[in-house]
Structure 1
Amino acid sequence: MALKHIITALLLINFFIPAASRAQGTNPDSIDTFVSGMMQRKSIPALQMAVVRQGKIIKLKTYGTANLENNIPATDKSIFSINSITKAFTGVAVMQLAEEGKLKVTDPLSMYLDSLPAAWQKITLQQVLTHISGLPDVLDENEQVMGNGSEKLALQKVGAMPMEFNTGDKFSYNQTGYVLIGKIITKLSGMHFTKFIEERQFKVAGMPLTRFGDSYDVVPNSAGAYTMTKLVDGQFVRNKKPGISYIQFPLFFRTAAGILSTAGDMGNWVIALKTGKLLKNEASIKTMWTPAVLNNGNIGGFNSLTNGYALGWPTVTRPDHPAVGPVGGGRSAVFIYLKDDLSIVVLTNLNGGNPDRFIDEIAGYYIPDMHEANGFGLSPNLKKLRGILLKQNFKNAEAIAAGLKKKDASFTLPESELNGWGYQLLSQKKPNEALAVFTLNTALYPNSANAFDSYGEALEFAGEKDKAVVSYKKSLQLNADNKNAAERIKALSEKQ
């Protein structure tokens, strides 16, 4: 990780910058400070947030600029695309039909759809909703929906393709199944699936500003869409400032993506879901939020955070504060904490804003043990190590780790986990503690160029430039292609 990115994060994440945030209302609290800093760090133009507790929205806040071209501030009525969070609405729609006895999620697709390819016919609704079907994807290599807007042509093309893997073998994010689910909802409900979702969810939950749409539509109070990447000579290059992002979703694709909403409306939707207005039976919600189990007995998901996937709902499966967490377009997220009376909606207008990566930290302002600074998010082994290091002021880390390993042969400290924790400590302005962790990482992984590169950055940040150069040189010896180490050695040498 480049040092300049760490410094930027440290400077911006801890200070409130009113001109950049334009938070609606007065007297910013600590959450506003955190959110505004994160927006600065990630170059997010606008952000809406809703916090739900005890069946009410207890915080509704909007920050930043909805329209960069005309410098229009965002308000609580600004409308954001929620992209693939739409899939969670589709999951609710399927469970509503299940409660009416019109389908079972274990039913095969062929029970409701004719003329499916032979390899598709035994695949169940549950398997397509959880992305373990193995179906070929209706998105092409350029992430465009096949068929040029024609549902018939899209299904013909994808239907002629081979299965990607045996059903249930792995998790692989796939849009084809959602197109098929849309056809089933339309058939069983007697109305187009968009109308069914509007009638049974938008209207029931109290979501007056929510609608289906995309970049083509003229939407009053639209927050638009921006991106930090640009296609140059066939490769995506990151820019220093946001540019306009444009995307269209064909009507038949809108079970997968296509809903536009506000944080307030989404908060009302969460409340309606949790209070039985959308689904009557608790068992329905339990089914909808249970992640699929693969053929090998594991669950699969996007990453180590959203590590499972249920019926349209990514899951955050973990011992402490588990959640379901629909995410959309790398720009929006809704986390419902299953064991806590807390739900958080964060919508942004930046593809790549990735609020799912900092929504737990927002939760920490309501549940203090969820703050990264209190060790939340660390693996069980890192928590053990942290507990002892805190008592000894982060001294003798190598000996402590060895002692834990001696007591328990299964005790391991993966390089990537130590590295990530070290950077967390740097971001928390704890350079001495970070140095102890990075030093331990180089001791445990003496042949890792990355470990010495990160150690060099921590030393440089702490002002120990000579030692930093030594560490960078070690990293370069281990990996001659390490550009960051070479650049930092050159920069530090020129300063002397």
Structure 2
Amino acid sequence: MCLKTFTLFLLGYISLTVTTATAQQLSTSDSIDIFIKHKMQQRHIPALQIAVVHAGKIIKSTTYGTANLEYQIKATDESIFSINSITKAFTGIAIMQLAEEHKLKITDPLANYLDSLPGAWKNITLQQVLTHTSGLPDLLDAEEQVLGHGDEQEAMQKVKMLPIEAQPGEKFSYNQTGYVLLGQIITKLSGMHFTRFIEERQFKVAGMKLTRFGDSYDVIPNYAGAYTMTRQVGDRFVVNSTPGVSYIQFPVFFRTAAGILSTATDMANWIIALKSGKLLKQQSSIAALWTPAVLNNGKIGGFNLLTNGYALGWPTVTRDEHPAVGPVGGRRSALFVYLKDDLSIVILTNLLGGNPEQFIDEIAGYYIPDMHEVSGFGLPANLKKLRAELLKKGFDQAIPVVSHLKKNDPAFQLTEKELNGWGYQLIAQKNMPAALAIFKLNVSLYPQSANVYDSLAETLEETDQIPEALVNYKKSLALNPQNKHGAMRIKTLTEKQAN
């Protein structure tokens, strides 16, 4: 792992001539601007747009950076960004619009609407397709290219020959095939191509004047482009130090899965239209749209610990505090609707790998103060319990405190991954003593893990405790001889000591 750095920011200076309410609003906005510019620099994001919605209104809409690196063209509020898989959220709304018109039911099997399906596909429901629990084979190949060379008939012919990947409802498995089938159903039931149906029933209704379908092949006025920090070399990806151009095509038949380009303001207006009943008339439709699928084992499944569930085209952030629905696209764009807070945040970037979903909660924290990581937001329940005790007794007491908590509650458990993640959060917050204590705790709980020794060694090195760092790098390497990072640091630090 690499150490992550973070800068704590002071609130911007506010003129004494403005009202208190305006000063507070401007101060929040200034702080967000500083935070975002730091994140852009840290992650090499060329351009970023943000829009914040509260109480049915856009309260912040700002654009930063460079839309085109080749010609150094500044990004503006009219710069257009690809939203990639956030497109699936539009498809979910389109299906629910047809459901409100009684043209389909999401519990219906695919065979009710499509002919010539393989036998194993016929009883898969629209809901299972929308939530990626269908078990269908994927339309993308190992290189993440759409099958069929851009031809829908050829693509479907090829994917229908592939075996089913899992029984319906068995697991969450992100899948593009189902969304192509949904496009076919929308086209059939609406009487118009699905792209036009989405344009007419969502873009126009929400006043999304700059939003359109397209990809890298199209000439798009004010397009912010697509950049990436990775380059494929053989069968592996190499991370570069500066962004390079990324070229992505989405065949028209694939554009229920990805292919919409928009602005943060347009996306904010889309959220306002959805929540105000302009896109879906019934609140029960929105509730269904945002309810994560329950698997056959009674659990929910999603991408990761953050977007841990998936509803009808909408990933969900299912948690007790400040739950959200959070469509993400291409590791470059994110949109979080905070379900209990009347707050929505849209972030669009032109860097694949910018991953704004990883810091969108922190931006929400400027409007909802208890959402800041430094306050413990986002930590699993047992880590919060541990944090509360350590704040009272001191982080240097982590090992005995955990022993006491386990004695009082046999169900109290801390995973290696959770502790390691918290340790790096503490580093980002410049709390090195606390981070060291947590990494030492992790070593005591998981002494056979090479990774925990590596993380502890890294932090010891950062705090100039070189002999102790070397001891732990060597322990990590003994447990995992393939730890190239540990081997490199041992060599570098040994040479440094010799000189």
**TM-score per shorter chain, which class?**
over 0.9
**1:162-217 CA distances to partner (integer Å, 9 max, x unpaired)?**
21111111111111111111111111111111111001100111100000000011
2:131 match: 130
Amino acid at match of 2:36: V
1:285 match: 286
Q: 1:88 to 1:351 in 2, by over 3 A?
A: same
User: More deviation in 359-368 or 391-400?
Assistant: 391-400
Structure 2 Cα separation of the partners of residues 117 and 448 of structure 1: 46
2:199 match: 198
**1:275-310 CA distances to partner (integer Å, 9 max, x unpaired)?**
111101000001111111111111111111111111
Structure 1 Cα separation of the partners of residues 90 and 387 of structure 2: 40
- Return structure 1 stretches of 4+ with deviation > 3 angstroms: 13-16, 25-28
2:219 match: 218
1:346 match: 347
1:22 match: none
Structure 2 Cα separation of the partners of residues 470 and 309 of structure 1: 44
2:491 match: 490
Structure 1 residue 15, shift from structure 2 partner: 9.5
Amino acid at match of 1:116: L
Structure 1 residue 2, shift from structure 2 partner: 2.7
Structure 1 residue 479, shift from structure 2 partner: 2.2
Structure 2 Cα separation of the partners of residues 159 and 446 of structure 1: 48
Checking the alignment, whether the CA contact within 8 Å between 2:81 and 2:350 is kept in structure 1 is yes
What does 1:6-405 align with in structure 2 at a 5 Å threshold?
A: 6=4, 9-10=5-6, 29-405=30-406
**1:138-170 CA distances to partner (integer Å, 9 max, x unpaired)?**
112211111111111111111122211111111
Checking the alignment, whether the CA contact within 8 Å between 1:81 and 1:260 is kept in structure 2 is yes
Secondary structure at 1:29 match in 2: helix
Structure 1 Cα separation of the partners of residues 208 and 216 of structure 2: 20
Amino acid at match of 1:2: C
User: More deviation in 475-484 or 37-46?
Assistant: 475-484
Structure 2 Cα separation of the partners of residues 226 and 50 of structure 1: 21
Aligned residues: 483
Q: 1:476 to 1:432 in 2, by over 3 A?
A: same
Checking the alignment, whether the CA contact within 8 Å between 1:91 and 1:313 is kept in structure 2 is yes
Structure 2 Cα separation of the partners of residues 452 and 348 of structure 1: 36
Q: 1:136 to 1:467 in 2, by over 3 A?
A: same
Checking the alignment, whether the CA contact within 8 Å between 2:67 and 2:223 is kept in structure 1 is yes
Structure 1 Cα separation of the partners of residues 397 and 436 of structure 2: 12
Amino acid at match of 1:412: Q
2:456 match: 455
Structure 2 Cα separation of the partners of residues 60 and 397 of structure 1: 43
Secondary structure at 2:115 match in 1: coil
Structure 1 residue 325, shift from structure 2 partner: 0.5
Structure 1 Cα separation of the partners of residues 408 and 426 of structure 2: 27
CA RMSD between the two structures: 1.6
Structure 2 Cα separation of the partners of residues 161 and 484 of structure 1: 40
1:427 aligns with 2:423: no
Checking the alignment, whether the CA contact within 8 Å between 1:15 and 1:37 is kept in structure 2 is no
Amino acid at match of 1:202: F
User: More deviation in 481-490 or 138-147?
Assistant: 481-490
1:438 match: 439
Secondary structure at 1:93 match in 2: helix
Gaps of 5+ in 1: 17-24
Checking the alignment, whether the CA contact within 8 Å between 1:325 and 1:334 is kept in structure 2 is yes
Structure 1 residue 491, shift from structure 2 partner: 1.8
User: More deviation in 470-479 or 234-243?
Assistant: 470-479
Structure 1 residue 27, shift from structure 2 partner: 11
2:18 match: none
Structure 1 residue 26, shift from structure 2 partner: 12
Structure 1 residue 14, shift from structure 2 partner: 5.7
Q: 1:169 to 1:199 in 2, by over 3 A?
A: same
Structure 2 Cα separation of the partners of residues 186 and 280 of structure 1: 21
2:2 match: 2
Percentage identity across aligned positions?
A: 69
Structure 1 residue 393, shift from structure 2 partner: 2.9
TM-score (norm 2): 0.94
2:17 match: none
Checking the alignment, whether the CA contact within 8 Å between 2:28 and 2:366 is kept in structure 1 is no
Structure 1 Cα separation of the partners of residues 114 and 416 of structure 2: 49
Amino acid at match of 1:416: K
Structure 2 Cα separation of the partners of residues 60 and 249 of structure 1: 28
**1:226-282 CA distances to partner (integer Å, 9 max, x unpaired)?**
011111123211111111000111111111110000000000000001111110100
1:21 match: none
TM-score (norm 1): 0.95
User: More deviation in 369-378 or 456-465?
Assistant: 456-465
Structure 1 Cα separation of the partners of residues 28 and 63 of structure 2: 14
Secondary structure at 2:36 match in 1: helix
Secondary structure at 1:347 match in 2: strand
Checking the alignment, whether the CA contact within 8 Å between 1:15 and 1:33 is kept in structure 2 is no
Structure 1 residue 477, shift from structure 2 partner: 2.4
Structure 1 residue 474, shift from structure 2 partner: 2.1
Secondary structure at 2:50 match in 1: strand
Structure 1 Cα separation of the partners of residues 491 and 84 of structure 2: 44
